Amino acid sequence: MKPSSAVSPSHRYARITGTGSMLPPRRVSNAELAEELAGRGLETSDQWIVERTGIRARRFAEPQVQASDLGVAAARHALEAAGRQPEDVDLIIVATSTPDMVFPSTATIIQRKLGIDGCPAFDLQAVCSGFVYGLSVADAMIRAGTARCALVIGSEIFSRILDFNDRTTCVLFGDGAGAVVLEASAEPGILASRLHADGRHMEILCTPGTVAGGQVVGDPLLKMDGQAVFKLAVKVLEEVAREVLEAAGRQPEDIDWLIPHQANIRIMQGTARKLKLPPERVVVTVDEHGNTSAASIPLALDHAVRAGQIQRGQTLMLEGVGGGFTWGAVLLDF
């Protein structure tokens, strides 16, 4: 049964009706990763990683697992939570930097695996800001009346593009997927969103490789200037949070939960301090998930919902920052 189309066009909003996530079963602790790096002649430790990032472990996918596999599992959990079936979905947006293949899109592969056909399905590339971008696009399409029930998925297998000879980056990232079902509603859900990008900073976080003539051209492994990313991230995350609050007519104290991109605990804490939000109102999963790029926000959201932290009626601020350089935020009533 398709979702109801009875929502008046003049009073059409988009609300999250279900969340889901999927983590690969293999948990890699800092100690295990440090031992592996020691075999490459690199020194690191659990203490060194925790102090700088807040990360204690991450999940790595097995070689046969693809981003679509994780995304499908997360989507099924979100659909179940929303009380929907795959055939109810009329829009699929997948945020990923690690697609299954050059083309077709991972979204169409997920569409096929879910047994859906006919609806729009496409990938969105904004790296770690991807889920916020995807949620904003789905919100706009629902408000415009071109979709009624959307799957917005963030799915990543960053372990495939890490340089394990660079301890400053390979300890940061992990694999996983998160998803939400976003449906048309007569009641406001997403209150406001703002998206930004500045390509002048593209070099500070990138994977500068591609495929040409059957060969990898450039460097297919992740590169990052950690200090530059940190400095820019804290600045723009505060700015975009205040921009979205102003657009929605809300104040920082109206935020029940801040769900930031899970990149680094110091960036997350810095943003919360600037908004004068206490640490206990920040959803934190970076300690166990690491940085899962576009999957990190929906993973953290689903974790907090299923743990009973986030309750219906609460106000959430979702915000991300990533390579490009991209950033954005969404304020919503859950």
- Examine the domain organization and report whether 56 and 150 are in the same domain: yes
**Which parts of the chain sit beneath pLDDT 50?**
1, 4
* Per-residue pLDDT at 285: 98
* Per-residue pLDDT at 1: 43
- Exposed e or buried b per residue across 261-286, where buried means at least 16 C-beta atoms within 10 angstroms of its C-beta: bbbbbebbbbbbebbebeeeebbbbb
Whole-model pTM? 0.96
- Examine the domain organization and report whether 124 and 233 are in the same domain: no
Domain end, chosen from 168, 185, 202, is at 185
- Examine the domain organization and report whether 102 and 155 are in the same domain: yes
- Three-state secondary structure of the chain: CCCCCCCCHHHCEEEEEEEEEECCCCEEEHHHHHHHHHCCCCCCCHHHHHHHHCCCEEECCCCCCCHHHHHHHHHHHHHHHHCCCHHHCCEEEEECCCCCCCCCCHHHHHHHHHCCCCCCEEEECCHHHHHHHHHHHHHHHHHHCCCCEEEEEEEEEHHHHCCCCCHHHHCCECEEEEEEEEEEECCCCEEEEEEEECHHHHHHEECCEEEECCEEEECCCCEECHHHHHHHHHHHHHHHHHHHHHHHCCCHHHCCEEEECCCCHHHHHHHHHHCCCCHHHECCCHHHHCECHHHHHHHHHHHHHHCCCCCCCCEEEEEEEECCCEEEEEEEEC
- Examine the domain organization and report whether 117 and 244 are in the same domain: no
- Examine the domain organization and report whether 141 and 20 are in the same domain: yes
CA distance 253 to 282: 13
Could you identify the residue written with the tokens 């590339």?
A: 125
Domain span at 281:
190-333
Domain end, chosen from 185, 209, 224, is at 185
- Examine the domain organization and report whether 168 and 197 are in the same domain: no
Q: Is 1 a domain residue?
A: no
Closest CA to 130 of 41, 214, 67, 59: 67
Q: Is 243 a domain residue?
A: yes
* Per-residue pLDDT at 333: 98
Report the CATH number at residue 196: 3.40.47.10
Q: Is 2 a domain residue?
A: no
CA distance 291 to 200: 23
- Examine the domain organization and report whether 146 and 218 are in the same domain: no
Residues acting as catalytic residues:
128, 261, 291
Find out whether the peptide bond into 103 is cis, omega within 30 degrees of 0. Answer: no
Number of folded domains in the chain?
Answer: 2
Which residues make beta-bridge pairs with 121? 92
- Examine the domain organization and report whether 18 and 128 are in the same domain: yes
Q: Is 32 a domain residue?
A: yes
**118: which 2 tokens?**
């006919």
- Examine the domain organization and report whether 143 and 172 are in the same domain: yes
What φ, ψ does residue 165 adopt, rounded to 5°? -105, 5
Residue type, 1: M
- Examine the domain organization and report whether 204 and 156 are in the same domain: no
CA distance 114 to 89: 10
Find out whether the peptide bond into 3 is cis, omega within 30 degrees of 0. Answer: no
Q: Tally Cβ neighbours within 10 Å of residue 208.
A: 13
Domain end, chosen from 185, 215, 247, is at 185
Closest CA to 320 of 207, 229, 247: 229
Q: Is 325 a domain residue?
A: yes
* Per-residue pLDDT at 11: 78
Q: Is 286 a domain residue?
A: yes
- Examine the domain organization and report whether 173 and 280 are in the same domain: no
Q: Is 4 a domain residue?
A: no
* Per-residue pLDDT at 306: 98
CA distance 289 to 287: 6
- Examine the domain organization and report whether 197 and 163 are in the same domain: no
Q: Is 293 a domain residue?
A: yes
CB 61 within 8 A of CB 175: yes
* Per-residue pLDDT at 118: 96
